[in-house]
Amino acid sequence: MNAVVIGSGGGIGGALVRALEEEGTAVRGFSRADLDITDEGSIAAAAAGLRATPDLVVVATGLLHDGDRGPEKAMRELDADWLARVYAVNAIGPALVAKHFLPLMPRSGRCVFAVLSARIGSIGDNRLGGWYGYRAAKAALNQFVRTLAVEEKRRNDRSIVVGLHPGTVDTRLSRPFQSNVHGDQLFDADRAAVQLLDVIDGLKAPDSGRLFAWDGSEITP
């Protein structure tokens, strides 16, 4: 199997590369130095440079905070520029990766295109409010996944396009927000990667377009 991991410089992305290599999978990782998730030209160039047909593509990029900018606690904190950036990284970027990488995947047989989403993007599960931009961007990403899955099924009826919720993982993205997370619910990156790959291994064609948590349970968008 040939795999591609977008975001290999991050905690989860790097762990996915290591776990796949340990399984004997040929992996091409793209870090920020190789691919800018907010630049379609960069994404297209990365796809064009692949030397092997990918059976698995995982998009493991994401933006939750940067410097003094972070998730909004109330609507008074909404800022157009920050919202646009959060959308660009968390929703638009992965959709553009799909635009350029999905056509390179096999036209027959099982293959998987997975993006890291989040339970917080579930509209039905939103009972706490806040985190406006991140919630909305992940909800948009989940809709992209569903829509991509519908189109991809026409190209390859065994192709699988899914969103994956890794849980709370001890990475730079979640570090400022870990104080209320119980120890048994905070995963190190290597464990999270193995759990995600276990979910991917168990996916079947009817699962395409859906969102799954790290334990294999389905999350309602």
Q: What was the pLDDT predicted at 16?
A: 98
Q: What was the pLDDT predicted at 122?
A: 93
- Give per-residue pLDDT as tens, 92-120: 999 999 999 999 999 999 999 999 999 99
- The one-letter code for the residue type at 165 is H
**Other CB atoms closer than 10 Å to residue 87's CB: what's the count?**
18
Q: What was the pLDDT predicted at 181?
A: 62
Q: What is the mean pLDDT of each run of 10 residues along the chain (221 residues)?
A: 96 97 97 96 98 97 89 96 97 98 98 96 91 96 98 98 91 58 75 96 98 96 81
| 76: Cβ contacts below 8 Å, ≥ 6 apart | none
Q: How far apart are CA 125 and CA 43, in angstroms?
A: 32
**Closest alpha carbon to 164 in 200, 128, 116, 107:** 116
Architecture of domain 2-219: 3-Layer(aba) Sandwich (3.40)
CB-side exposure of 184: number of CA atoms within 13 Å? 0
pTM summary value: 0.93
Q: How far apart are CA 46 and CA 86, in angstroms?
A: 22
Checking DSSP bridges between strand 168-169 and strand 186-187, what pairing results, if any? parallel
For the chain, what is the radius of gyration of the CA atoms? Answer: 16
**Closest alpha carbon to 59 in 46, 72, 49:** 46
Q: What was the pLDDT predicted at 187?
A: 86
Q: What was the pLDDT predicted at 145?
A: 98
Q: What was the pLDDT predicted at 186?
A: 74
Q: How far apart are CA 85 and CA 101, in angstroms?
A: 22
